[in-house]
A and B are shown apart, each in its own frame.
Chain A
Amino acid sequence: MAKKCIAMLLAGGQGSRLKALTKNLAKPAVAFGGKYRIIDFPLSNCTNSGIDTVGVLTQYQPLDLNSYIGNGAPWDLDRTNGGVAILPPYSESDGLRWYKGTASAIYENLNYIERYDPEYVIILSGDHIYKMNYAQMLDFHVQRSADVSIAVIEVPWDEASRFGIMNTDEESNITEFDEKPEEPKSNLASMGIYIFRADVLKEFLEMDHGTPESTNDFGKDVIPLLLDEKKKCVAYPFSGYWKDVGTIQSLWESNMDFLSLSTEETDDYLDLYEKKWRIYSKNPSYPPQYIDANATISHALINEGCVVKGHVERSVIFQGAQIGEGSVITDSVIMNDAIIGDNVKVHRAIIGPDTVIEDGSVVEPEDGTDEIVLRMDEQL
Chain B
Amino acid sequence: MERLVNKQIFGVIDATIHSDSFELLTQNRPVASLPFAGRYRLIDFMLSNMVHAGIDSVGIFSHHTHNSLQGHIGSGKVWDLDRKNGGLFFYVQNEHEADNAQLILHHNKAFFSRAPYPYVVIAPSNIVGRVPILNMLRQHKEQGSIVTQVVHSGKVLPIYLLTREHLVDLIAGMDKGNPKSLLAFIETSLADIEKTPYEVNEYLLTVDSLQCYYDNTLDLLNQDKWHAVFQKQFPVLTKTKDEPPAKYYPHSKVTNSIIANGCIIEGTITNSVVARGVKVGAGAIIRDCIIMPGVVVGKDCILDGAIIDKDVTIAEGIAVKKREVKLAVVPKGEFVFKEWE
Contacts and interface: CB of A to CB of B under 8 A. Distances in A.
Interface of A: 33-35, 73-74, 259, 261, 272-273, 278-281, 283-304, 312, 316-318
B333 interface: no
Nearest to B257: A291
B298 interface: no
Given A288-B38, A303-B261, A304-B39, A293 B248 contact: no
Interface residues on B, range: 35 or more
B250 A298 contact: yes
B238 A302 contact: no
Interface string B213-248: 000000000010010011000011110111011111
Given A297-B254, A304-B39, A288 B259 contact: yes
23 contacts: A34-B244, A261-B249, A272-B244, A273-B244, A273-B264, A279-B244, A285-B237, A286-B235, A287-B226, A287-B230, A287-B235, A288-B37, A288-B258, A289-B258, A290-B223, A291-B256, A293-B255, A296-B253, A298-B248, A299-B249, A302-B259, A303-B261, A318-B245
Which of A278, A288, A298, A301: most chain B CB closer than 10 A? A288
B255 A303 contact: no
B68 to A, nearest CB: 20
B262 A303 contact: no
Nearest to A272: B244
A326 B235 CA distance: 28
Contacts of B242: 74, 278-281, 283
A293 B271 CA distance: 8
Contact of B245 (A280, A293, A301): A301
Contacts of A261: 249-250
B249 A301 contact: no
Q: Across chains A and B, which 8 residue pairs bring their CB atoms closest together, nearest first?
A: A283-B240, A285-B235, A34-B245, A272-B244, A288-B38, A303-B245, A293-B256, A288-B260
A136 to B, nearest CB: 23
Nearest to A35: B245
Which of B236, B242, B262: most chain A CB closer than 10 A? B242
Contacts of A302: 245-246, 248, 259
B260 A304 contact: yes
A159 B77 CA distance: 48
Contacts of A294: 255
Which of B244, B259, B262, B273: most chain A CB closer than 10 A? B244
Chain A contact residues: helix, strand, loop or mixed? loop
B107 interface: no
B189 interface: no
Interface in B251-308: 251-262, 264, 273, 275
Given A281-B242, A289-B259, A290-B258, A299 B250 contact: yes
A149 B288 CA distance: 56
Contacts of B251: 298
Given A34-B245, A280-B242, A281-B242, A287 B37 contact: yes
Contacts of B253: 296
Contacts of B236: 285, 287
Contacts of A296: 253, 255
B260 A292 contact: no
Given A287-B38, A296-B253, A297-B248, 20 more contacts: A35-B261, A73-B77, A74-B242, A283-B240, A285-B238, A287-B236, A290-B223, A290-B258, A291-B256, A291-B258, A292-B223, A294-B255, A295-B254, A297-B254, A299-B248, A299-B249, A301-B244, A302-B259, A304-B260, A318-B245
B172 to A, nearest CB: 40
Contacts of A278: 242
Nearest to B40: A287
B258 A300 contact: no
Contacts of B238: 285
A272 B245 CA distance: 9
A129 to B, nearest CB: 13
A234 to B, nearest CB: 34
Which of A73, A74, A286, A312: most chain B CB closer than 10 A? A286
Nearest to B234: A285
A34 B256 CA distance: 21
B37 A292 contact: no
Nearest to A316: B245
Contacts of A273: 244, 247, 262, 264
Contacts of A318: 245
Nearest to B271: A293
Contacts of B246: 289, 301-303
A34 B263 CA distance: 14
Contacts of B264: 273
A379 B69 CA distance: 41
Contacts of A317: 245
Contacts of A316: 245
A288 B272 CA distance: 12
Contact of B256 (A284, A292, A298, A299): A292
Nearest to B275: A288
A291 B274 CA distance: 11
B245 A291 contact: no
Contact of B261 (A280, A295, A304): A304
A87 to B, nearest CB: 26
Contacts of A279: 242, 244
